[in-house]
Structure formats: structure tokens, C-alpha cells
Amino acid sequence: SGPIGVLALQGDVREHRSILERLGAEVRLVRSPDDVAAINGLVIPGGESSVIDKLARVFGVREPLRTAIGAGLPVYGTCAGLILLADEVLDGIVGQVSFGGLDVSVRRNAFGSQADSFETELMVPVIGAPPMHAVFIRAPVVERVGPGVETIAMLSDGRVVAVRQGNILGSSFHPEMTNDGRFHRLFLDNVDRSQYQGTVAG
Ligand code: GLN
């Protein structure tokens, strides 16, 4: 299926790389516009979204990524990656922007200091049994879901923690930190089915 990119500016790049390679993908770390042009799919890791945003602008990959995502590049974002895919970020730092593409509003650090991180078993119907062991670390929550967006996982209190819209997949939690490749498999299936032809550099 061609190289799968992992945005490698900050965050848990290594964990995504190893789970993707375990699933048979050829991984290319993405740090330049040339890297963006070479990939058929992209994972945006967990980490700190405001830092990844800043570095993406410094490295000149923000605009190429926005163009590629707009052209249908299959993408999967975990935690900070989900924040970077959201059209609207609530509680971002001053000046923080996202790549966008996903018609949702996401609140950063939505669980507050009383529950900075926690783990839970999460049923994800599109993935099936058994439930995912979901790791949340200063995680965001999806507070608004646009009409074209499908909610694919919720906490027991109804808060939305995983969504998809076309070729864009996002989760508040980190499957790359457990040994569960099912979310990445879903993403790689999107890559296999995708009509994405890349973007032509101007
Ligand atoms: N709180 C982080 C942010 O705003 C996300 C945390 C994570 O990716 N585990 O980017």
C-alpha cells in the first residue's frame, strides 16, 4: 500500500511506528514537505498538540499536510493527533491552531487535574469484541460532532472519545501504548480502500 507516514516532530512516534510495522506497514517518518508527498496515509501521534502545531509550521509541513488531508489522505490521530485534526480546538494555548479536516470541536485536557490520566475498557462497535484497553493521558474530549462525523466510541457517561469522518480517524486514547492493533488496522484498511492519489507540488 506504499509508505505510511508518522508525523515525527514530537510525541510518541516510536510506539506508532512499531505497531504499524507489526501490522506489515512500511513506515516513513514525516518531517518535511517531501515526506508528505511520499506517503499514502498518516498517523499523528500523541504528545503536546501546541508543540506539534508550532513545529509543523517551523518545518513547513503544516500547509502540505492541510492540502493532503483536504485531498483525502487517510489519517489517524491519537490524543494530540486528534486535537490537530479537529476544525475547532477549545482550551488551546494562545495562538494554537490545528490542521483541521475533521468537523468536530475538541476540548484539550478535558478531564482536569483530578483525572489527568486513567485507563478503562472501552467497547468500540466498529472494531468489535473484546473491548479496547483505552489509555487516557491529559486527554481531549470531542464536544461537538458535525453532521458528517460518526461517533465510534463513548465513555460510559456519554463523552465522545473516538470519531471518524471519511478517511479521517481520531481517538482521545492511545492504542499505540497497548498491544492492540485493531485501531491501526482500521486506519490501514482506509489506506487500502482509499482513492487518494497524492497532491502535486506547486
Ligand atoms: N494534552 C495534550 C495536548 O493538548 C494531549 C496529551 C496526549 O497526547 N497524550 O496536546
> ipTM of the assembly?
0.95
**pLDDT tens by residue, the chain, 202 residues:** 689 999 999 999 999 999 999 999 999 999 999 999 999 999 999 999 999 999 999 999 999 999 999 999 999 999 999 999 999 999 999 999 999 999 999 999 999 866 789 999 999 999 999 999 999 999 999 999 999 999 999 999 999 999 999 999 999 999 999 989 999 999 999 999 999 988 765 4
pLDDT attached to residue 36: 97
Q: Is 46 in the pocket of ligand 1 (CB under 6 A)?
A: yes
Asked whether residue 30 is domain-assigned, the answer is yes
CA of 175 to the centre of ligand 1 (A): 14
From CA 7, how far away is CA 56, in angstroms rounded? 9
Asked whether residue 200 is domain-assigned, the answer is no
The answer to whether the annotation marks 47 as part of a ligand binding site is: yes
Asked whether residue 84 is domain-assigned, the answer is yes
Catalytic residue, chosen from 79, 119, 143, 184, is 79
**Which CATH number do you get for residue 9?**
3.40.50.880
Asked whether residue 201 is domain-assigned, the answer is no
* Residues contacting 79, CB < 8 A, separation 6+: 46, 47, 137, 138, 139, 140, 171, 172, 173, 174
Three-state SS at 99? coil
Q: Which residues are paired to 75 by β-bridges?
A: 42, 168
CA angle at 22 for the pair 184 and 1, rounded to the nearest 5°: 65
Catalytic site includes residue 174: yes
Domain extent at residue 183: 4-193
Q: Is 109 in the pocket of ligand 1 (CB under 6 A)?
A: yes
CA of 200 to the centre of ligand 1 (A): 32
Asked whether residue 198 is domain-assigned, the answer is no
pLDDT attached to residue 116: 85
Asked whether residue 100 is domain-assigned, the answer is yes
The residue to mutate among 107, 109, 136, 161, having the most atoms of ligand 1 within 8 angstroms of its beta carbon, is 109
pLDDT attached to residue 137: 96
pLDDT attached to residue 1: 63
Q: Is 108 in the pocket of ligand 1 (CB under 6 A)?
A: yes
Q: How many domains does the chain have?
A: 1
Asked whether residue 162 is domain-assigned, the answer is yes
CA of 3 to the centre of ligand 1 (A): 26
